[in-house]
A and B are shown apart, each in its own frame.
Chain A
Amino acid sequence: MKYEYSVKVDDLRTHFKVHRPHLFAEQPTVYAVDGVSFEIEPGKTFGLVGESGCGKSTTALSVLRLVEPTSGSVELNGVDICQLSENDLRNYRRHMQIIFQDPYSSMNPRTTAGEIIRTPLRILKIGTPKEQHERVEELLGLVGLRPEQKNLYPHQFSGGQRQRICVARALAPNPDFIVCDEPVSALDVAIQSQILNLLARLQQEFGLTYLFISHDMAVVQHICDEIAVMYLGRIVEKADRRSLFLDVQHPYTKALLAAVPTTDNNSKLSFVSLKGDVPSPMDPPSGCHFHTRCPMAETRCSKEIPKLRQVLPNHWVACHLV
């Protein structure tokens, strides 16, 4: 059965309670993800972009229930995974996998590459051990490694090859949906392009749906079909790839774009650079979270929270002044 959306996230919220500063203080809450909604069509890539601390990784983890969301729903192929029991969820994980940022710290250094890739098959009880080993060799070939390399340990691979192993592990149970959490940020530029091309090729071959998290606008522009920009737990702008860059609306997105260094003199965008750091998500500014750093802010911005509204076809923005 075909679904209109492969993934549908609705009003997802993930709040963390943190330590009280002193005994009688109110327990502070971090609003890491605060009402995020988006849909991803089957076989497409949805990008989440923003600075560190904006909640993009927490969103990624919440979508897979690796972090338990506080409220909201996440549907994958019509199944609300937030309602699944522990057991059903574990079984359902074969449809959704994740690739992490640092390939070295996301693998057990005492396990061979082959065992690392076989782990999801073993846990999900997919196939006999013999079939699993055959599948591992097939996967190694798919990600551009040689089958005999399955007996090597993580430290014997280079950074790019390690990320290939992580990609193979994510592919092992034949998922529909893969969350890529900054998969190329820790890699050298030359290796980065190899991994991006590999991800694109695999998507085409297997019709995978990606949620792609990155802080790098150029990478996101390159690989994503639709992009959402996050700031302090909320989506501030969401559009298809072309519209976002051609008709950029939100002052924060403009600032992010202006900050990207480029080798191409002609494409240089001339916007003002941002002052200051991202405010603490424990005590976010009132109204529009961005008003403290926004060059255009008015009094209204500090009072009312702007709603995400459609301004162009396939283009939503949360700003009072657009």
Chain B
Amino acid sequence: MKQEPLLQVNGLCVEFSTKNGSVRVLNQLDLHLLPGEALGIVGESGCGKSMTALSIMRLVPTPPGEISNGQILLNGDDVLQLTESQMEDIRGNEISMIFQEPMTSLNPVFTIGSQVSENIRRHQSANTSQAKEKTIQMLEAVGIPAPELRIDQYPHELSGGMRQRVMIAMALSCQPSVLIADEPTTALDVTIQAQIFELLRKIQEEMATSVILITHDMSVIAEFADRVIVMYAGRKVEEGLVRDIIDNSCHPYTQGLINCVPVLKRDPGLKRVELNEIPGVVPNLAQLGPGCSFAPRCHKVVDRCYQEMPPEQQVGENHYASCWRVGDAA
């Protein structure tokens, strides 16, 4: 049986106007999220991962940004057609988001308690004492010790890992059906990162929340996500189940992303080996050619790549890639 997607994005385009004309930062993006699923979005800085998240939340700064085309269907309704006040009912309630830097996304002059309960009071008709009770419950659920004392503390009194837990408590306080985590652990130590992912996994199972995880680190995706979308220069280049992508990736960019990360080995051997690298840098989005944006950095490039944009092709079950060289021998 095919599951109905909870969230579906069709042909999303986002443009930013700059003094050199308009730049398309998201180009014809399609994605869907199934109930209870963890979807990873991976790519280098500037590939449009965070912009995808902001578009879904309708938080694209307008102007200069603008969602110029596409649909974002949440349970079948297009959120792009909603008024701002209808959107406010959805944000933090149906869809919530966790940001990268917990210190800059918490307000330093309000206590933890008031910030977490704000969301509860906004979306659930709870009075102050009910909201407080719920806040303590949430903080406890995300593993903050002594929550009844913590609610009166300020963000600077907590460690980075604790702050991120507060963000998660805030995001989950209204049992959203979709949780978007934008690089939630990039600013944290590996041991704390492991704790946060353990927590997210537990929450995902208990609350049946669907998660969109945005990161630049393929190994984080491998640990956490079920399905993954690889983005480059505002487009999706490959999509598939995590194991398929990691073991049999078809797009040279995905292969590059996987191979350039040093892998922790049980036996590293005596000699240092050279890392594979993706040469060059991410292209300027204002100066893209007609062909594949990855062509200048690609080791499998042929003339056609510069002339025509490769269409998305199915390469396996639930596995799609946009590359002219898919299927050719390596």
Contact = CB atoms under 8 A, between A and B. Distances in A.
Interface stretch (B3-11, B31-39, B259-267, B285-293): B259-267
A245 B281 contact: no
B255 to A, nearest CB: 12
A191 B267 CA distance: 25
B277 A193 contact: yes
Contacts of B44: 188-191
Q: Which of the four size classes fits the interface of chain A?
A: 35 or more
Nearest to B273: A222
A218 B263 contact: yes
A51 B260 contact: no
Nearest to A158: B281
Taking residues whose C-beta sits less than 8 angstroms from the other chain, chain B's interface range is 35 or more
Contacts of A200: 272, 274
A260 interface: yes
B261 A193 contact: yes
B193 interface: yes
Nearest to B222: A263
B191 to A, nearest CB: 5
A273 interface: yes
A319 interface: no
B189 interface: yes
Contacts of A242: 267-270
A192 B190 contact: no
A108 interface: no
Contacts of B269: 242
A263 B191 contact: no
B220 interface: yes
B261 A274 contact: no
Interface in B222-271: 222-224, 246, 256-258, 260-270
Interface stretch (B18-26, B102-110, B112-120, B211-219): B211-219
Contact of A246 (B219, B256, B264, B266): B266
A161 to B, nearest CB: 7
B219 A261 contact: yes
B217, B258, B260, B262: most-surrounded residue (chain A CB, <10 A): B262
B268 A261 contact: no
B130 interface: no
Nearest to B246: A263
B275 interface: yes
Contacts of B262: 193, 196, 218-219, 221-223
A269 B274 CA distance: 24
A226 B192 CA distance: 25
Interface in A184-227: 188-194, 196-197, 200, 215-219, 221-223, 225
Contact of A190 (B246, B267, B278): B278
B266 A263 contact: no
A277 interface: yes
A259 B192 CA distance: 8
A261 B272 CA distance: 21
B191 A51 contact: yes
Interface in A12-31: none
A129 B203 CA distance: 63
B291 to A, nearest CB: 20
B264 A218 contact: yes
Contacts of A223: 262, 272
Contacts of B279: 194
B272 A273 contact: no
B281 A191 contact: yes
A260 B262 CA distance: 11
Contacts of A222: 262, 268, 272, 275
A259 B261 CA distance: 16
Contacts of B282: 158
Contact of B217 (A158, A241, A256, A261): A261
Contacts of B224: 261
A273 B265 CA distance: 18
Interface string A129-173: 000000000000000000000000000001111000000000000
Contacts of A188: 44-45, 216
Nearest to B270: A242
A278 B258 CA distance: 31
A222 to B, nearest CB: 4
A34 to B, nearest CB: 20
Interface in A260-287: 260-265, 267, 269, 273-275, 277-278
B198 interface: yes
Given A218-B261, A242-B268, A245-B265, A277 B276 contact: no
Contacts of B264: 217-218, 221, 245, 257, 260, 262, 267
Contacts of A277: 159, 161-162, 192
A255 to B, nearest CB: 6
Contacts of B278: 190, 193-194
A193 B224 CA distance: 23
B69 interface: no
Given A223-B272, A245-B267, A262-B219, A189 B162 contact: no
Interface of A: 51-52, 158-161, 188-194, 196-197, 200, 215-219, 221-223, 225, 241-242, 245-246, 255-265, 267, 269, 273-275, 277-278
Given A241-B270, A255-B191, A274-B191, 15 more contacts: A51-B192, A158-B281, A189-B218, A190-B260, A194-B278, A218-B262, A245-B268, A256-B191, A259-B190, A260-B219, A261-B197, A262-B222, A262-B223, A262-B264, A274-B195
27 contacts: A193-B275, A196-B275, A197-B274, A197-B277, A215-B190, A218-B261, A218-B262, A225-B272, A241-B270, A242-B270, A245-B264, A245-B268, A255-B191, A256-B190, A256-B191, A259-B193, A259-B194, A260-B264, A261-B220, A261-B222, A262-B223, A262-B263, A263-B258, A265-B222, A267-B266, A273-B198, A277-B192
Q: Sort A-B residue pairs by CB-CB distance and give the 3 closest, nearest first.
A: A222-B262, A259-B194, A193-B260
